Amino acid sequence: MTATPARAFAVALLVGLTACATAPLAHESAEHNCATLGQWIDPASGDIKAYDALIEAAAASPIVMLGEVHPHVDHHRWQLATIGALHGRRPDMVLGFEAFPRAVQPALDRWVAGELSEDDFLRETAWTKNWGFDPELYLPMFHFARLHRVPMVALNVERDFVSRIRDEGLENIPEAERRGLSEPKAPSDAYLDGLAEIFSQHLDIRGEDDERASLESDDDAQADDSDDTAEGETAEDAVEQPENIRDDPRFQRFVKVQTTWDRAMAQALVEASARSGSPLVVGVLGSGHLERGFGVPYQLQDLGIDDATVFMPVAPAENCDAHEEEVADALFVLPPLSQIAQGPSGPKLGVMIEAREEKVTVLQVMEDSVAAAADIRDGDAILEAAGVALADTSDLIGIVQQQAPGTWLPLSIQRDGETMEIVAKFPSAANGHGKP
């Protein structure tokens, strides 16, 4: 039943569903009998939780964190419904989002103040470059904040700063250039085990001799969605993997990056909680940063916040006892991504991608997608789309989002050193334009 640790890497062109609010169902406590869709679960006992009491208790916390698999529309609908329920009890609220680096905070302030249109807001926050997921997934939450004048806070840090930490170490960066970030608490052995598993899968996908691999954490194996990229190794790093993966210098840098993000988001949440009036702070971030008390909750404890609340969505379990006791304070049961019909927000190529050496590299092709039908394969580099050279993931995302129903999109692909031409055929509106 648990969301598993981060598994994949990169920016997704996978989904773009129209997110709308749906209220969670209220359930009374009952004997554990395999929770079904729309129910809250106590992971420690497996019992169904009483909704009103759960929300009341969470509203009394200083910080509530809502996990997500980034491209899962129902996760965002659930988040919005939960935010609304909490706001009804604690209108003194601040919303924090992993999706935004701190440099774009002025745009968040202007959006909440009603000074920006949607287009201006997405442009000023460099949404496509900084996050890359369909904005329709998140816009209902942004509009909620604007409507109720709930301050929005950028939780993330800029990637160039993370790269410096990876390359130099935070301890070697002058205090004045640390942007207020304090040294993360060293991760627990259990967290290191989880990160080692992610790192090993990274090597399986990218290859150990990849000279410019990127390491990126994600939040659930059922949907390979992107989180944040720590652009990573050079030719001299392409060495044989040590017998103990913890001794691998690449893994050690990977841990630095993950704990940096965890610490940065934890600090941003604490800073928001310390505002005048001690508002309720609700953080919207990937489940991989939250589960089992690792990541952000672990850093929050080091910062003196030991009574934060973590809610996470999960898919129905085949085995009623499949969840772990400490995965979260409560779980909400939602359909897995594979069962969600794709919405009408726009065309989807259906690939996980990242920018690598000025090429857009395909990390994973989704089943039954436009990309799969076009015989695009994992590891392909997409050099051009519609005759336009691609240097960054945002280039491809922009072109795909402009495609009309029924469009045939010519792509120039590099595979195993050979360049070939492929045509991606997007379905007509009648055939489900929103399908990936």
What integer pLDDT is reported at residue 215 of this predicted model?
36
Q: What is the pLDDT of residues 122-139, one digit of tens each?
A: 999 999 888 878 899 999
Sequence-distant (6+) residues with CB within 8 A of 10 are 214, 216, 226, 229, 352, 353, 354, 363, 393
- Phi and psi at 34, nearest 5°, equal 60, 90
How long, in residues, is the chain? 436
- Continuous segment of H or E residues that includes residue 72: none
Q: What is the pLDDT of residues 350-399, one digit of tens each?
A: 887 877 777 888 888 888 889 999 999 988 999 999 888 887 787 888 78
CATH superfamily of 351-431: PDZ domain (2.30.42.10)
What integer pLDDT is reported at residue 133 of this predicted model?
82
Domain 1-341 coded CATH 1.10.1370.30: no
Tell me where in the chain the CATH 2.30.42.10 domain(s) lie.
351-431
What integer pLDDT is reported at residue 8 of this predicted model?
32
Give the chain's residues under pLDDT 50.
1-32, 205-239, 319, 341-344, 430-436
Tell me where in the chain the CATH 3.40.50.11550 domain(s) lie.
1-341
Residue 338 CA to residue 342 CA, distance in Å, equals 10
Residue with tokens 């680096």: 101
pTM, to two decimals:
0.72
Q: What angle do CA 284, 305, 263 make, to 5 degrees?
A: 60
Task: State the DSSP string of 209-239.
Answer: T-TT-EEEE-S-TTS----EEEE---GGG--
308: tokens are: 């934060």
What integer pLDDT is reported at residue 93 of this predicted model?
98
Torsion (CA) 30, 33, 39, 45 in degrees, nearest 10: 70
